Amino acid sequence: MKKLAVVALGGNALLRDNEEGTIEQQEQNATDTLENLVHLINGGYELVITHGNGPQVGNILMRNDAGEQLYNIAPMPLDICVADSQGGIGYMLERMMRNVLNKHGIQKNVITMVTLVEVDQNDQAFANPSKRIGKLYTKEEADHLAKEKQWIFKSTSKAEGKYRRVVPSPVPLDIINKETIELLVKNGNIVIAAGGGGIPVYYDEEKNVRTLDAVIDKDMASSLLAANIKADELYILTDVSFIYKDFGKPTQEKLEFLDYNDTLKYLELGTFAEGTMEPKIKACLNFIKNGGQKSVITEAKKLEDKSFGSKITMNYED
């Protein structure tokens, strides 16, 4: 039987530093990234692809603001903006993936799914919103919007005297339509799903689906999806080739082969950078804990090398 892998694309899969973000740049970046997945397909893997949406949904929110201020166009809520980003990025990845497959003579269908992800409306994250989204505002603008829209703002260290809206980032509990995703991929289709961590929703007392102003961590959602569909492996593609202990310090050390318990110890010691590598490590550990065989963190271009990336494997003991 073929192995099943979930591949989480990092933010640089579409947008790179110091780029304007034109459609031509994004399509080329997507193609360059997806070319590397051919090595997995030729290695006998069926694939589900997930992706981030941070820069893109930020741009959508700014267009929202401009449309409201300049043309009195009714702004759309955050869940619709996340769905917009899923559709747009998913379409771009699907089209570029189809072209990559055509180039290599691979006969596979590619399907994009706008994905809802269940969260707990009482998650503690809602008491402490921390995820910064959208544009920078002055103190006066932030105060006005906080009063008008009940948004919450926090200052940013990147620009003195500027503020950004913050929203909760709850833990994902369940991937809606996981059975459909699993059926599609196990029938040989490449599925693009859970973009940007998915659209956070919850069920009310009458079992109706309700939305929340929140965003979900992309890697945590990818980990949950991988466990839900019983994937063998989880790949988190980022801008570094390996996990490093004490990254950027004189004590920096490459960590190539890890098991669950060793990785957990490093995590508890604060070895990994908070907000960057740490969430990826937690996502990998969750996948292993819930039945996954192997998690890999690496650069996309390293997938051709059989010895690529840092690998976290089983040996989980409850």
Out of 53, 90, 131, 198, which one is annotated catalytic? 131
The reply to whether 280 belongs to the active site is: yes
The reply to whether 11 belongs to the active site is: yes
Out of 2, 3, 11, 290, which one is annotated catalytic? 11
The two beta strands, 110-112 and 131-138, are unpaired
Out of 12, 36, 228, 286, which one is annotated catalytic? 12
The tens-digit pLDDT sequence of the chain (318 residues) is 789 999 999 877 888 878 888 999 999 999 999 999 999 999 999 999 999 998 889 899 999 999 999 999 999 999 999 999 999 999 999 999 999 999 999 999 999 999 999 999 999 999 999 999 988 999 999 999 999 999 999 999 878 899 999 999 999 999 999 999 999 999 999 999 999 999 999 999 999 999 999 999 999 999 999 999 999 999 999 988 899 888 888 888 999 999 999 999 999 998 888 878 999 999 999 999 999 999 999 998 888 876 678 899 966 444
pLDDT of residue 318: 45
pLDDT of residue 316: 47
Out of 53, 178, 218, 282, which one is annotated catalytic? 218
pLDDT of residue 21: 86
CA dist 122 to 195, 210, 219, 226, Å?
23, 13, 21, 25
Phi, psi of 196 (to 5 degrees): 65, 20
**To 5 degrees, how large is the angle CA 161–CA 165–CA 168?**
135
Phi, psi of 67 (to 5 degrees): -65, -40
Task: Measure the CA–CA gap between 277 and 55, rounded to whole angstroms.
Answer: 19
- Set out the domains of the chain in order of their start, with CATH numbers: 3-121+175-313 (3.40.1160.10), 129-167 (no CATH)
The reply to whether 108 belongs to the active site is: no
Determine contact, residues 50/225, Cβ cutoff 8 Å. Answer: yes
Task: Measure the CA–CA gap between 236 and 9, rounded to whole angstroms.
Answer: 7
Task: Measure the CA–CA gap between 51 and 235, rounded to whole angstroms.
Answer: 12
The reply to whether 195 belongs to the active site is: no
